[in-house]
Amino acid sequence: MNIILFGPPGAGKGTQAQFIVKKHNYFQLSTGQLLRNETKQKTALGKEIEKLISNGKFVSDEIVDSLLKQSITNLKFRDRIIFDGYPRNVEQAINLEKILSEFDQNIGRIIFLNVARDIIEKRIMGRMTCEKCNMILNAFFNKSEIELHPCGKEYLVKRIDDNLETIIERYDTYINTTKPVLDFYLKNENFYTIDGNAEIEEITSKINKILTV
């Protein structure tokens, strides 16, 4: 079954998706990561995407939807996708249902990680992502893991959009544009809310339970 991890920026969607990938053999479809990969190409499109991301703005639905479709139509990932960072507005939520049903798939779990604003800020300000393996660590909470990171700590970098100014912009966009997606899913029988303020391990164990009911 496909899964949506939903929540504000810094809620821990990427971190939890990585655990699900390992434990349940899933594919993490992070639209943010796909877009960051595009920026590395240094094409005109890559540069446009980089500008939007670094200003905390959304990339157009047209671009994001085309990246998304490439993964949904890949038979290797059939019914094993974790949507991380998608949908981010109501139009995307409608589009996702449309594409999935076209390819005879659906969404088996929608998990909302509900996190307070002040916690988000600390998580994002400390976030370090490995350029080699994409592992996410936190400079405040994972000091020893950073020192011992298998790829080497020089590969752990801060994202261009993880600064205070951009966080404010991204959080406002979340409240105004992304949060309304909750209404779209609230009545879905596969919708679950988790207290995302808790410790990582506690959240992982709650997600594991939800995936096995």
Q: Which residues bind ligand AMP (CB under 6 A)?
A: 9, 30-32, 35, 52-53, 56-59, 64, 85-86, 88, 92, 161, 170
| Smallest distance, ligand AMP to C-beta of residue 6, A | 11
Smallest gap, in angstroms, from Cβ of residue 163 to ligand AMP?
12
Q: What's the min distance (Å) between Cβ of 30 and ligand AMP?
A: 6
Q: Of the two residues 54 and 193, which places its CB atom closer to ligand AMP in the complex?
A: 54
Q: Which is nearer to ligand AMP, 12 or 56 (CB)?
A: 56
SS in 3 state form for the chain? CEEEEECCCCCCHHHHHHHHHHHHCCEEEEHHHHHHHHHHCCCHHHHHHHHHHHCCCCCCHHHHHHHHHHHHCCHHHCCCEEEECCCCCHHHHHHHHHHHHHCCCCEEEEEEEECCHHHHHHHHHHEEEECCCCCEEECCCCHHHHHCCCCCHHHEECCCCCCHHHHHHHHHHHHHHHCCHHHHHCCCCCEEEEECCCCHHHHHHHHHHHHHC
Q: Which residue number, 6 or 109, has a Cβ lying nearer to ligand AMP?
A: 6
In the complex, which residue's CB is closest to ligand AMP?
A: 32
Residue pair 58/113 in contact (Cβ under 8 Å)? The answer is no
- For residues 57 and 69, which CB has a smaller minimum distance to ligand AMP in the complex? 57
In angstroms, what is the minimal distance from the CB of 108 to ligand AMP?
A: 20
CB of 157 to ligand AMP, least distance (A): 14
Residues whose CB falls within 8 Å of the CB of residue 96, separated by 6 or more in sequence, listed in order: 68, 83, 86, 87, 107
Q: How far apart are CA 133 and CA 191, in angstroms?
A: 30
CB of residue 160 to ligand AMP, shortest distance in Å: 10
Q: Which is nearer to ligand AMP, 180 or 213 (CB)?
A: 180
Closer to ligand AMP by Cβ: residue 12 or 85: 85
